[in-house]
Structures are given as structure tokens and as C-alpha cells.
Amino acid sequence: MSGRTAPPDDLAPPSPTAAGSSPVRRAQPEVAAPFWLEFAALAVAVTLAVGGVVGLLLAVVGWFSTGLTLLLALPPTLLALVGLWRSLPRGSTTRAAHVAGAAAAVLAVGYLLFVAVTPSQNVVVARDPGSYAATARQLSAFGALEIDARGTAFAGIEGLRFSSAAVYDEPVDPQGPNAETATGVLDPQFNHLTAVALAVGFDVGGAPLLFRVPALIAGVGLLLVYAVAVRATRRPAVALLAPALLAGGLPLLYVARNTYSEPFALALLWAAILVLVIMARRPRVSLGLLGGLLMGALVSTRVDALAYLCLALPLAAVSVAAADPGGRRALLRAWGAAVAATVTVGLVGWWDLVERTGGYVTDLAGQIGLLRFALVASAVVSGAGLALWSGRPAVRAAAVRLRRPVARTAAVVVGATLLFGWLIRPLVQTTTSAIAYPAVIDLQAADGLPAEPYRNYAEHSLVWMSWYVGATALAAAIAAAVVVLWRVGHRTVAPALLAVLVLGLGAGAIYWYDPQITPDQLWASRRFVPAILPAVAVWATAGLALLLDALPARWSRGRGVVPRLTVGALVVALLAPVLVTSAPVRWHRVQAAHLDPVLQTCAALAPGDAVVVTDAYAEITLLQTLRSWCEVPVAGLGSWQRVQDLPALTDRVAANGYRLVLVSLLRDDLTSLTDDPTQVQSSIEVYDRWSAEPTLDHLPARYERIDEQLPFLAPFALHWWRVPFPR
């Protein structure tokens, strides 16, 4: 059925399903969030996908501008929105569903406001968000991902440094004897769709909007998770628990207040899930194209998005196998459109990854190769399995015969594995990485732990889940996963719930085993934001729905004082732990007000100035910051000596028609070079007072103290000296 119907009461249990050989429930009436909510959330995701991919294509070829991006993206965006409007089902929706949808919208808007009122300002490129913000400003200023940082200001001056954290300097001859000689032609790290979206935000609303775009996208992501949860549980009011759990946890707060790619991946992924779940019941080529657009944009956002494609292909095969013979051809056409759109749009992201991320793609060559192999294997196995299912009656008969024992075995294995990973693995395993984490040693000393630089603490990954969704919610999620897998053998699983189960288990198999990230919290928690934490939140919500299904009708519908109090107590038991653990650092943000010193420095620079950064830490973390925000030539001192070589460096820069300005995080670096210290100017000083403490073996429970931070970053200030010429 394509129309939307709902049970008489929102908490009413679903009706029995028809029998058959499909692993999912298809005869059940469809229950969904209101049309207005699904359309609004998907419209934002589709606009992000189209605009992001168009802007990314322009950025790769060096023609980016917000005006041109909006102009070129407008026609396909309107076409996609018209297709979305016409393709989304408009069935009857109960008043209770509209009320629940309105509550979800209030939750999303409230979360957006809470996060956006105090965003981080990642201008020191110490970690990923600083890179995304600096790349966004670079795109806004120069219109290209690849730039010539040497330019005319530093032409012919060897020994200077142009690369820095998250920025790669192209070698003169990658394969020859000059491979180590820098050209000054720079490529920023990471996939760049996020930076494109941030650049548009800056051009539209300046720095305030740039730093708040992730919060906006995270709010939309909550709505999309809610919409999927409604289709998974068939209970619009109960489904509110899923976005509430996600919003209450620290990981989403951590990335939504920072310029990370994870909020964008979250929104695009769950929009794609929603569209493709709808398409499974309402086969339309237009829905397939929209789903493929969203998946292709997801590939352009994060390199690990290929893993989600690997999981989507088996689900596509299952949905085709589950279709009635009369509707199978239409579903094949829809999935074909989805695959074609994914490949077409994803090629833009792949081009960006290969051509404009410098050494990043080389550094990750092994992981990318493994993901590509897994994608090919997934396609081959899914296609072969579907062909056998369709063409061999004996295979179908065997599948029907084995469905229940296989499903029950899978349920037991998954439940036991998850419980082992949560409760036993941390006690019996000590995991390490092939590389050392220098930052881990300091945290181990602070926490009173043995010095083990190779420890990655991956054995605690499911313990982290209990921190960030709550122990009761994690227990409910595991129980729900077991029940859902068991019910696959009886064909009593909604397609949306099966999709979320496969997504969570598939992504969890990768990142619960080894998150492959420096293990300090909250940093490591971001690995789980796009797929795993939302999936666990939906599982926990499904666990509550399954419990209500098992209760007598009066209790499951919440009729009467005692049933309502009982249901309320269950919700509190699931939601309260995550809120309690997040409360102590709920105002967490990084580099608060740190943009002010940078802008003061930029304002002091004049046309014709060329900046050279003198201290080692600033050479790593601030070259791209000053280059992009101040829009002036910037280099690091490199192999030049600060004192002995200053006259020669000043002369060389002057010969190129520029005036040398030295910048440092350390005022003494500059005052020691001049007889008149008053010539050295300084920005205001700011403190990073709201950053949650980095931890390894426990939840962050307080903000990091000033005396625990690097001394030249507490306070953070920039100092500059315009070198007199002639000296």
C-alpha cells in the first residue's frame, strides 16, 4: 500500500502480517511521519546534496563562487524538489502523528538553537574542524581548492615552509630526485563537500553563519532520524525517543558545535535511508534518483561512506526479492536509477578525493583499496544472490526452509557478540595500533594510567556506546536487535527497521572492532555519529515499541493513570542516563572566541604585506588560517634562521615587491629581533575555557583547566611585526 494509514491509537500494536517467503513485512499498513515533516527535512538534504556537488565540481576545477554555485544548482534543485513533492506518499495521518511530528520539529529547532548559540571557532588547525573551516575560507577567498601559496611574494625563495596541518604541498617531481622539494602548490586534506557548504555559509552570512551551518544540518539530521524511526516502529510518539537519545548525547553536540563533516554525513545518510525505504514500498524511478543523489553526495563528504554503499546493495537485493512478482520489475528500475545516480554523483566526489586532497588519498590507499574491494564483492554477491533467488526455485525453497533457523542463529550470535563486546571484551583484551599516539601518553599520565603509546582502547568501543546513549538504552537496543533478527525468520520486520539493523551492525562491525582514531574522548566519539549512534538510538526505540507490543492493549495504548505512568517511567529510564552524563559539559565548545585575534591580525595587514610565521607550533597550525582568513601570502620560516637570516629574507621579499611581516604565537620571538619592542603589535588574548577535558577511560565530567593547556595557547593571542626596510 502506498497510502498512509495509522492505527486508531498511536500506541496501538501493529496488526499481524501475511505469510510468505520474504524476509520483511510487506502487507502491513504504512505508518509514517507527517508529509510536511518528511518533505521539509528531505528538501534540506536534497538542496545540500545538489548544491554541495555542484559547488564541489566548481571547486575542483578552480571556478568556485557562491553566486555561480547557486545559479547552476538552482535548476536541478528545483527539479529534484518537484520530484520529491510528487513522489512522497500522502496518506491519511492521525492527529496524534501530527502532534508527534510537531514535537519532533520543536526538538530539532530547540537543539539547533541550543547548539548554535555558542559555536566553536576552529581557527587553529590542530584537528579536522580547523581544516574544514580554513578550506571554506580559502574557497570563498580564492575560488579553488588548489592554490599557489608561493606566488610572487615568495618566488625564488627556497627553504620556506608552505604546507601545514591538513595541507599538502605538491612536490616538484613526485617520482624523481626532487620529490622533497616543495612547490608551494597546496591541496587541503579530506573530502571537500563539507568545506563547500561552509564556504556558501560564509558568503551568505559571514563567519557567524559559517560556524553555525553544522548545527543547522544536525537539526535536520534529527528530523530524518525521527522519520526513519517512525517507519521502523510504527509508533510516531514512541519514535521521539530516537532523536531525543541522539540529541542528548555528547558526540552529536561535539560535532554540531564544530565544523566537522559528520553532521553533513548524518543528514545525507539518513535522508538516503528514508528515501530508499519509501522506494522499497513505492517503487518510483524518481525516488531512486533522489536516493542515489543523496548517496553520491554522501560519498563526496567522507571517504568511509563507501562502507555504507557496501551495506546498501544487499538491502537492495533483499527488497527486490521481497517484492511481489508484479512489482519486481518496477523496483528493479527504481534501484537501477539509484545505482546510476549514486555512481554519477559519486564520481565528482571521487575526482575530488583523487585530484584535490594531496597526500591524503595516498595515506589512506590501503583502506580505500579495501573499501573498493568490499564494494565490488558486495555488488557481486548481491547480484548473484538475487539471480539465484529469481531463477532457481530450489534456491527459493531452500531459503524458505532455512529462514527461521538462520535468523534464530543470527539473533543468538549477534546478541552474544554485542554483550561480549560491552561487558567482557574490556576485561580480557588490550588492543594496540601499529602507530604510537604521542598525545595519549600525556592523557595516560593525567589519568594515572600506565604509559602505553600504542594503546588505542578499541576494546572499550561498546562501553563508549553505554556512555553516549546510556546503559539502559544500549541494553534495550541489544535486546531489540536480537528480537528483530529472530522475527526476520517469521517475516514480521518492517523494512525500515531491517535497514537500520543492517546499517548499525555493518558499520558497527567496522568501528566497534577498531575505530581507527586517536582514542581520547570526545574526539573518538565522532566516528559513531553518522550511522552507529543513530542506529542504536532507533534500536533502543524499537526495544520500547516491542515491549509495548507485548503488553495488554490498555497498557500499550497508555490508557489510564498507571499505564501512562509506567510508559513515562520507561522513557525516563531510557533517556535520563544520557542526559545526566552530558549535563556536566553541556556547553562544550572548542576555541571559543578564537577568531577575534585572527581577525585583528588580518586587519593590521595591508596590501603588499607578505607574512612569515616564526614559531614552530604556529607553522604547523596557523599557516592556512592566516592565508585563508587574511587573504595574504603566508609562509613558515622553515629552514631560515630567525635572527641571522632576517636581513636577507627581508631583502628577498622586498625584491619581489612585498613587505615582510613576521607573526608568532610567542611575543618574545619578535621583540628579541628589534631594538624597539613597541613596534611589535599584539591581538587581544582569549582563553579556551569551555573545552571538555580529554579523557581515555572515563566520560568527560568537567571543562579542561587553563593550566592543562599548551602554555602558548593559554591565552591564545597573535603577535606581529612589520619588518622595517631597508634595515
pLDDT along the chain (727 residues), means of 10: 38 38 54 94 98 97 96 97 94 85 97 95 92 96 93 90 88 46 84 97 97 97 97 93 96 96 97 94 93 96 91 88 81 93 95 90 87 91 85 78 86 95 94 82 83 89 95 96 87 82 92 90 92 96 90 65 79 93 93 94 95 92 95 90 83 93 93 89 92 90 82 84 80
Task: Name the 3-class secondary structure at 315.
Answer: helix
Residue 400's pLDDT is: 77
The overall longest dimension of the chain from CA atoms, in Å, is 92
Residue 153's pLDDT is: 93
656 shares a domain with 571: no
Per-residue CA distances from 557 to 168, 549, 564, 614 (Å): 59, 9, 8, 68
Residue 659 forms beta bridges with which residues?
Answer: 609
Please check whether residue 501 is in contact with residue 435, taking contact to mean a CB–CB distance below 8 angstroms.
Answer: no
Residue 181's pLDDT is: 55
Residue 533 is assigned to a structural domain of this protein: yes
Residue 211 is assigned to a structural domain of this protein: yes
Q: Angle at Cα 302 formed by Cα 301 and Cα 307, nearest 5°? A: 125
625 shares a domain with 561: no
Q: Which of 585, 606, 632 is the last residue of a domain?
A: 585
Considering only CA atoms, which of 42, 470, 582 is closest in space to residue 242?
A: 470
326 shares a domain with 229: yes
539 shares a domain with 493: yes
Considering only CA atoms, which of 271, 276, 319 is closest in space to residue 298?
A: 271
Which distant-in-sequence residues (6+ apart) come within 8 Å of 188 by Cβ?
131, 134, 135, 138, 145, 166, 167, 168, 195, 356, 357, 358, 624
Task: Name the 3-class secondary structure at 695.
Answer: strand
Residue 429 is assigned to a structural domain of this protein: yes
578 shares a domain with 460: yes
Q: Which of 537, 565, 585 is the last residue of a domain?
A: 585
Residue 123 is assigned to a structural domain of this protein: no
Q: Which of 557, 585, 613 is the last residue of a domain?
A: 585
354 shares a domain with 276: yes
Residue 576: other Cβ atoms inside 10 A: 14
80 shares a domain with 43: yes
Residue 192 is assigned to a structural domain of this protein: no
Residue 319's pLDDT is: 85
Domain count of the fold of the chain:
2
DSSP string, 529-573: TTTHHHHHHHHHHHHHHHHHHHS-HHHHTT-SHHHHHHHHHHHHH
How far is 622 from 634, CA to CA, in rounded Å? 9
521 shares a domain with 492: yes
567 shares a domain with 638: no
599 shares a domain with 573: no
542 shares a domain with 652: no
- Global confidence as pTM: 0.93
Residue 364 is assigned to a structural domain of this protein: yes
- Give the residue numbers spanning the domain of 532: 35-118+200-585
Residue 16 is assigned to a structural domain of this protein: no
Residue 172 is assigned to a structural domain of this protein: no
638 shares a domain with 567: no
